[in-house]
Structure 1
Amino acid sequence: MTNHSEAGALRPLTLAWVGRHLDAGERVVRTEALHGGITAEMRRLTVVARDGNTRRVVLRTFVDPHFVEHAEELLNREAEALALLAGTDVSAPGPVAVDPTAAHCEYPSLLMTHLPGRTVLDDEGLQARVPLLARQLVTIHALRPVERPEVYEAWTTADAVVPPVGADAAAWAAAAEVIRRPAPPYEGRFLHRDFHPGNVLFDAAPTGRAVPRITGVVDWVQTSWGPADLDVAHCSTNLALLHGPAWGLRFAEAYEEAGGVLAAAAGERLYWRLLDALAFGTGVAWVARPWQEAGRTELTTRAVEKRLDAYVLALLDTLG
């Protein structure tokens, strides 16, 4: 086996486990570290059969102690979500094998099929991509599984909110008070829960076609049941940080234009948007790192903090 990079190298026990879940005669000949993930190591594995035909699979491995602690729940949740998505209108990887407790691998791992396409984080072409993202999310929310996933968990609380350095302290205090209120009533939907441009794959637009096509949605470890507003809020925050606050506001409009239904009252919409946005206050550097690795080097921690502050102010001005 050859390695594309040292970071992509498979650990011995994990390589043996992967091999047991390949077709007879297949073997791993190449591994590549996939960048852009935050919580896990991601690798693309090239597999060759005896007749020389090749295919790819993807391996998720939790190595950070915090996520190893929660790996059994997260990996089982993703494997179940991927099995559920098979045969639906949502293109997602298929589950191949899961070792959620590291009974066979060095660390908890999930092996899944590979989807074509790539993430696109550039400003160029964003106007065309936002409606595609919105339509994709509407399709996800239309799923009605026989068995619902776990109810969503909030990623921050009013007392845990920490404004970024230099943020408008009064505005952030006011925003924290908004999410101190009880959660608004909602009609439950099937949520991706981490839907944003970094988890959506696009094909390259062929000659003569300006708009790319979504080839799939990845990273289903947070699949939950909750309000559509929460998925919209998360994608909106990411768009605001990647491309500017105006795009965070625009995404909710695009979602409704695509047929999605959000909370009717402005105060309820504000609650869900702030519940997501305020959770980024203490983790901007963590979130910005994969964007920088993907080539958006101008998105320094400080630059993203400024965008987050501006987005919170925009939400209060628009929906408050």
Structure 2
Amino acid sequence: MTDHDEAATVRPLTLAWVNRHLEVGERIVRTVALHGGITAEMRRLTIGGRDGGTRDLVLRTFVDVEHAEDWLNREAGTLTLLTETGVPAPGLVAVDATAAHCEYPSLLMTHLAGRTVLGDEGLDTRVPLLARQLVAIHALRPAERPREYVALTTADTVVTPRGADAAAWAAAIDVIRGPAPPYEGRFLHRDFHPGNVLFDDVVSPSPAGPRIAGVVDWVQTSWGPADLDVAHCSTNLALLHGPAWGLRFAEAYEEAGGELASVVSERLYWQVRDPLAFSEEVQWVAQSWREAGRAELTTRAVEERLDAYVTTLMDALG
């Protein structure tokens, strides 16, 4: 087994657990750490077979994460559910949510071809694809609903960036002090954004351009308002590419047939709640994007875009 860096090394108990879930004659021939995540260690395992061929699996490990058992059980259930749908997602191989066999809670799944694309080039083509994919996810109606969504911030935990528009942020914080608006429940990914969407690497001769090859990271699957998923992807796009793209994604979602809150004040509640939640973890988000190749996205740069986006939302919807 070839380890390209220390982060790629699979711990002994986990390695033994993975080996028990391989086919007869298979072995791990290569491990590579996958970067860009915040809460989990991710590794791609190349598996060699007796015939000389290879296949790839992905190992997710949560180290000292409070909700690891819940998240991994939820992801395992969701991956099983998605095999019967048209939503492209990894296949479940095995899960050890309580670390009964591994050093830490872990999940083993199939590897999807494709790559995340976080650069500005081609964004006008990718945004409608992202929107259509999210509409398809929200259209799922499982026999057993996932748990109700959990809000990621409160009015009292928001961290206003230094130098931010104080009036806009105060108004935004006041918006989420009130109760959540009524909503029609939908099946939510709950962490849908460009970093969790894989695009194929095949250059398409069609004018349609690229296609989505997979959607990953289903640990926070929930039931709640479509606006919440849209707001999360919108915020990511605004911070990666500029505030206008946050607004554009909401438009693209509706153009794709998705339905958002019809009352402006209700839409504002969901749209502003997500960037306010980002205020508490800007440093970690910026770091993950730099590791993924966006070196210019320093913590300060992301803070400035976050401020600009909150201000834009309050001007547009407030």
Q: TM range, normalised to the smaller chain?
A: over 0.9
1:197 aligned onto 2:194? yes
**2:17 maps to what in 1?**
17
Q: CA RMSD in A?
A: 0.9
Distance, in Å, in 2 between the alignment partners of 1:86 and 1:307 is 38
Name the stretch that deviates more: 110-119 or 2-11.
2-11
Q: Secondary structure at the match of 2:251?
A: helix
The answer (yes or no) to whether the contact 1:28–1:45 under 8 Å persists in 2 is yes
1:186 is matched with which residue?
Answer: 183
Partner of 1:75: 72
Asked if structure 2 preserves the Cα contact closer than 8 Å seen for 1:183 and 1:271, the reply is yes
CA distance in 2, matches of 1:29, 1:253: 46
* Separation in structure 1 between the aligned mates of residue 78 and residue 159 of structure 2, nearest angstrom: 33
Equivalent residue, structure 1, for 2:26: 26
Letter in 2 for 1:25: G
Give structure 1 stretches of 5+ with no counterpart: none
- CA distance, structure 2, for counterparts of residue 5 and residue 215 of structure 1: 27
1:170 aligns with 2:172: no
| Distance apart, 1:207 and its partner CA | 5.4
Aligned 8 A contact 2:113 2:213 in 1: yes
Return the TM-score normalized by structure 1.
Answer: 0.97
Deviations 1:226-278 (A, max 9, x none): 00000000000000000000000100000000000000011111000111110
Tell me the CA shift for residue 74 of structure 1.
0.6
- Note the C-alpha offset of 1:305: 0.3
Aligned-pair distance for 1:5? Answer: 2.2
Q: Tell whether the 8 Å contact from 1:164 to 1:282 is kept in structure 2 after alignment.
A: no
1:118 — aligned with what? 115
Alignment of 1:52-91 (within 5 A): 52-63=52-63, 65=64, 67=65, 69-91=66-88
CA distance in 2 between counterparts of 1:207 and 1:180 reads 48
Contact 2:26 2:48 in 1 (8 A): yes
How far did residue 205 of structure 1 move? 4.7
Q: In 2 relative to 1, CA 251–207 (structure 1 residues): closer, same or farther, beyond 3 Å?
A: closer
Instruction: Give the % identical residues.
Output: 76
Letter in 2 for 1:298: E
Q: Which residue of 2 aligns with 1:221?
A: 219
**How many residue pairs get matched?**
317
2:155 to 151, 155, 158: 158
Unaligned runs of 5+ residues in structure 2 are: none
Counterpart-to-counterpart distance in 1, 2:39 and 2:96: 17
Amino acid at match of 1:86: T
The equivalent position to 1:139 in structure 2, one of 127, 133, 136, is 136
The CA deviation at 1:209 is 4.0
CA distance in 2, matches of 1:191, 1:276: 14
Deviation (angstroms), 1:2: 1.4
The match for 2:263 is 265
Q: How many Å separate the matches in 2 of 1:208 and 1:75?
A: 39
* Aligned match for 2:279, one of 278, 281, 285: 281
By how many angstroms is 1:181 displaced? 1.0
Secondary structure at the aligned position of 2:156 is classed as helix
Query: More deviation in 281-290 or 112-121?
Result: 281-290
Q: Determine helix, strand or coil for the equivalent of 2:44.
A: strand
Normalized against structure 2, the TM-score is what?
0.98
Distance 2:200 2:301 in 1: 29
1:253 partner letter? E
CA distance in 2, matches of 1:43, 1:152: 28
Q: Distance in 2 between matches of 1:268 and 1:207?
A: 40
Please give the alpha-carbon distance, in whole angstroms, between the structure 2 residues aligned to 1:246 and 1:11: 44
- On the 8 A contact 2:227/2:261 being kept in 1, the answer is yes
Shift of 1:204: 2.4
Structure 1 counterpart SS, 2:176: helix
